[in-house]
Chain A
Amino acid sequence: MLRLGYDERAAALLVFPVVAVLLVVAAFPILYSFWISLHDVVLTRPLRRPFVGLDNYLRVFADERFWIAVARTTVYTVVTVAATTVLAVLVALLLNEAFPGQRLLNALLLLPWATPSVVNGLMWKWIYDPSYGLLNGLLVQLGVLERYRAWLGDPDLTLLLIANAAVWKQMPLAALLLIVTMKAIPEDLYRAAKVDGAGTFRRFLHVTLPALRPGLMLVLVYETMISIRHFDLFLIMTQGGPGDASFTLSWFIYVETFRSLRFGTGAALSYILAMATFLLSYLFIRFLGRRL
């Protein structure tokens, strides 16, 4: 028999609104999405949506565009996560120092974080602009480049340039998380290392880096999850192009769903991406968590 005391009635009442909202706009869509992925849903043919089992998944795996998208997403994610992490460590080391103006730099760190991703995309697209962009202007003025070139139009560079824009926006949060972890390192460890004759670099390698492990862990998992599903910059900067140079999984989902209107395969793709994200974060925590 279920008896509810005052505490439990109050808790139920206080929690109910949130649970209701999340059920409608999060839990239900997640389950519904799975149902859609098992049916052949095409929006141009709304009345007939036969059950097809795992056909949508099989169709996706047989599609060569899927494997291109996997490759592009992998490159983009690896580059973005690696660059964000390295840069964040450097920035955290700088901002963890006490020096005049350090507070100002701390405030400045929030600038990229607060910038809307659409503006971020527009800003970098403008910097990379083939005819008037600042990157061309700068490199030509410095004599590095002879004439203006179409940066985003170069299939070999597109992903890296988009990654650069993403890193600019994502680095601050990563740096903040690392700074918090650094502040928690006991000072004695550095004194002891110094007594043992360790130089600046060795102290970083043997004291700072190991103590940074939980922070780095968090940054790696979080940045991977953000990057693997990133969408905004791809729509604004390249729309998957040139050719298929920036054809990532999230862009594939968007094209399949809202341009081809094949909701069934779109949902299957979404599920594959969600599962991959889950699996990756799990693996990170399971294996890297111990060794890092």
Chain B
Amino acid sequence: MSGAEDRRAPPPGRAAARRPVAPRLGRGLLLAAFSLLFVLYVAGPVAWLVSSSLQTEAQATAVPPNWLPPEPTLANFEAIFRAGERVVTYETRRQGDPATGGFLPTGAQNLLPSLRNSLVVGLWVAALNLLLSLTAAYAIAVIDFRGRRATLYTVLATRVIPDIALVVPLFLVIRALGLINSLAALVVTYLAVTVPFTIFILISYFEGIPRDLYRAARVDGCGHWGALRQVYLPLSLPALVAALTFAFLTSWNEFVFALVLTQNVEAQTLPIVISGFVMDFTTSFSFVNAAGVIAIVPPVLLAVLFQRYIVSGLTAGAVKG
């Protein structure tokens, strides 16, 4: 845990050999203890969410709680994927699936369509975000044109305004365009949210690419479009992966704009439908937890898969700053 020890840490073999046994043991115990605390804190809540999603309603609401599912069941997930087949009304909701305690939220059948909406919006945002940012970042990082700095600052400044402050006018603009409750409205909004950050990442990456490669390409007769496609695009794959992941995650997780800009199952995304469950009193806990698990899986998978790119993307510019 000490700053001093981590400096010596990188060549573990040599450092360890030079040090007496007692402090090494102490250090090991300390690290183990803190690692355990860290794992409990970071993974504990999610583990509990997963655990209670694998229990029946009766087990999940037991006192004292069942820390692990006594008999793991996928009934809640089955209920989610079957929800579309049944009509839930005030009369029928009580007699529903016994596994969920019979309390299926009224919006249960909206869950799968909202999952689809979230995926569609996320993929569109990721793709368009990359296309738009790529050209702009190239121009700002590589071409020396009048208004270059002004363009950069304007782009970044749009992100300083709190989302909640943008919600009101954006709602009116989107309504005037007749796009309320459409996936297109969400895609355009999320582009505005994600593009500035992507441009920022790509610029700091592009600036690290040797200028000579650019000159060579231009000498060989490439225009800017050619230089972008043949030099910058292939060399910045890590940054592109990070940018795609961020855009998808931001759009997948976003809540406020989706809450205000969508009204029903046509355009509602997963967070909106789930938040509806949470605020419904009669909701089955195990069912909602299962819905939460479904919402958590894609972002966590992406995070694990692209961990290295995400970390370098997130911290881009931090060192310079």
Contact = CB atoms under 8 A, between A and B. Distances in A.
Interface of A: 6-8, 10-12, 14-15, 17-19, 21-22, 24-30, 32-33, 36, 90-91, 93-94, 96-99, 101, 105-119, 121-127, 129, 131-134, 137, 140-141, 148, 168, 172-173, 176-177, 179-182, 184-185, 187, 190-191, 193-194, 200-201, 203-204, 207-208, 214-215, 217-218, 225, 228-229, 231-232, 235-236, 239, 250, 253-254, 257-258, 263, 266-267, 270-271, 273-274, 277-278, 281
B314 interface: yes
B20 to A, nearest CB: 15
A254 B188 CA distance: 22
B219 interface: no
Contacts of B260: 258
A11 B143 contact: yes
Contact of B158 (A8, A26, A235): A26
27 contacts: A12-B145, A14-B136, A18-B135, A19-B136, A22-B155, A30-B165, A32-B169, A33-B166, A36-B168, A93-B3, A98-B9, A99-B31, A105-B39, A115-B253, A115-B299, A116-B270, A118-B253, A119-B295, A123-B46, A126-B289, A132-B61, A137-B65, A229-B163, A231-B256, A232-B256, A263-B168, A274-B162
Contacts of B138: 14
B124 to A, nearest CB: 13
B115 interface: no
B64 A140 contact: yes
Given A15-B139, A168-B45, 12 more contacts: A14-B139, A22-B154, A30-B166, A32-B169, A94-B35, A97-B31, A107-B307, A110-B311, A112-B46, A116-B270, A122-B274, A168-B41
A148 B151 CA distance: 57
Contacts of A270: 162, 164-168
A138 to B, nearest CB: 8
Interface size class of B (residues with CB under 8 A): 35 or more
B274 A119 contact: yes
The 8 A-B pairs at the shortest CB distance, nearest first, are namely A270-B165, A208-B3, A29-B169, A229-B162, A98-B9, A200-B2, A137-B65, A26-B158
Interface in B289-321: 289, 292, 295-296, 299-300, 302-304, 307, 310-311, 314-315, 318-319, 321
A201 B172 CA distance: 56
B119 interface: no
B296 A115 contact: yes
Contacts, number: 327
Contacts of B195: 18, 21-22
Contacts of A218: 318, 321
B43 A97 contact: no
A19 to B, nearest CB: 7
Nearest to A131: B61
Given A11-B145, A231-B256, A273 B164 contact: yes
Contact of A30 (B161, B252, B299): B161
A111 B300 contact: yes
B164 A137 contact: no
Contacts of A132: 60-63, 65, 285
